[in-house]
Chain A
Amino acid sequence: MVLVVLRRILVFATTVVVASIATFLMLSILPGNAARIALGVQATEADVAAQATAMGLDHPAVVRYLDWFGHVLIGDFGDSAVSRQPIGPEITDALGITVILVLTSVVLALLFAVPFGIITAVRQRRLDGAILSGISQIGVAVPGFLAGMLLVTVFAVTLRWLPAGGWVDPGDDFGEFLEHLILPAIALGSVQGAVLSRYVRSSVLEVSREDFIRTARAKGLGTGRALLRHGLRNAAVAVMTVLGLQIATLLVGAVVIERVFSIPGLGSLLLDKVALRDLPAVQGIVLVLVVFVLVLNFLVDLLFTVIDPRLRRAA
Chain B
Amino acid sequence: MFVSIATVMAASMALVGCSTGSGTTDAEGGTALTVGLLATPGNLDYTTTAGAAIPQALLYNVYEGLVKLDNDGTIIPLLAKSWTVSDDGLVYDFLLRDGVTFSDGSPFTAESVKFSLERVKDNWTANGPTYLDPIASIEAVSDTEARITLSKSSNSWLFNMSGPVGTMFTESGIADLATAPIGTGPYTVSSFKTGDSLVLAANADYWGEAPYMSDVILRYFTDATAQTNALLSGDINLISGISQFQLVDQFKANSDFQVLEGASTGEVTLSMNNASDAFSDVRVRQAVMYAIDRQAIMDTANSGYGLLIGSMVPPTDPWYDESLADLYPYDPDTAIELLDEAGVRDLTVDFKIPNLPYAVAGAQVVKDQLAKVGITADVTTLEFPAIWLDEVFSGHDYDMSLIMHSEPRDVSVFAAATYYAGYDSPAVRAKFVEADAADPARYTELMKEATTKMAEEAAADWLYLQPAISIADADLLGVPRNTPSLALDLSTIAR
Contacts and interface: CB of A to CB of B under 8 A. Distances in A.
Is chain B a partner of chain A in the same complex? yes
A47 B130 CA distance: 12
B483 to A, nearest CB: 18
Contacts of A50: 125
Contacts of B229: 152-153, 156-157, 164-165
Interface stretch (B14-22, B112-120, B287-295, B318-326): B14-22
A85 B222 CA distance: 21
B2 interface: yes
B12 A271 contact: yes
Contacts of B1: 41-42
Nearest to A171: B19
A247 B223 CA distance: 25
A263 B17 CA distance: 6
Interface string A72-85: 00000000001111
B78 interface: no
Nearest to B50: A40
A32 B50 contact: no
A106 to B, nearest CB: 21
A42 B15 contact: no
A2 B474 CA distance: 69
Interface in A90-118: 90, 93, 97
A38 B390 CA distance: 13
Interface string B189-220: 00001111000000000000000000000010
Interface string B376-397: 0000000101110111011000
Contact of A166 (B11, B12, B178, B230): B230
A264 B16 contact: yes
A262 B12 contact: no
B387 A259 contact: no
A261 interface: yes
Contacts of A272: 12-15, 40, 194-195, 222
B17 A165 contact: yes
Interface string B302-344: 0000000000000000000000000000000000000000000
A262 B178 contact: no
B385 A37 contact: yes
Contacts of A36: 389-390, 393-394
Contacts of B42: 38, 82-83, 276, 278
Nearest to B230: A164
Given A264-B16, A264-B196, A268-B195, A40 B51 contact: yes
B11 A262 contact: no
Interface in A154-177: 156-157, 160, 162-169, 172-173, 176
Contacts of B222: 259, 262, 268, 271-272
Contact of B15 (A157, A168, A169, A258): A258
B21 A166 contact: yes
A44 B129 CA distance: 10
Interface residues of B, number: 60
A201 interface: no
B436 interface: no
A141 interface: no
Nearest to A258: B15
A223 interface: no
A264 B125 contact: no
Interface string A7-51: 000000000000000000000001111001111111110010011
Q: Chain A, interface size: which category?
A: 35 or more
A253 interface: no
Contacts of A261: 16, 226
Interface in A227-282: 258-265, 268-273, 275-278
A149 B42 CA distance: 27
A43 B128 CA distance: 7
Contacts of A198: none
Given A157-B233, A163-B22, A167-B16, A51 B125 contact: yes
A181 to B, nearest CB: 10
A164 B235 contact: yes
A166 B235 contact: yes
Contacts of B221: 165, 262
Interface string A272-294: 11011110000000000000000
B474 to A, nearest CB: 16
Nearest to B125: A47
B8 A263 contact: no
Contact of A259 (B21, B50, B223, B232): B223
Interface in B1-31: 1-3, 5, 8-9, 11-19, 21-22
Contact of B394 (A33, A90, A168): A33
B188 interface: no
B492 interface: no
Given A40-B5, A82-B49, 19 more contacts: A31-B391, A33-B390, A37-B386, A38-B48, A39-B50, A40-B51, A44-B130, A47-B125, A82-B194, A85-B179, A152-B233, A163-B22, A165-B226, A167-B17, A259-B13, A262-B219, A265-B15, A271-B222, A272-B195
Closest 9 A/B residue pairs (Cβ): A40-B50, A167-B17, A32-B386, A272-B13, A262-B16, A275-B12, A264-B15, A271-B13, A82-B42
14 contacts: A31-B386, A36-B390, A39-B49, A40-B2, A82-B43, A84-B43, A157-B233, A163-B235, A168-B19, A264-B16, A270-B13, A271-B12, A277-B386, A278-B42
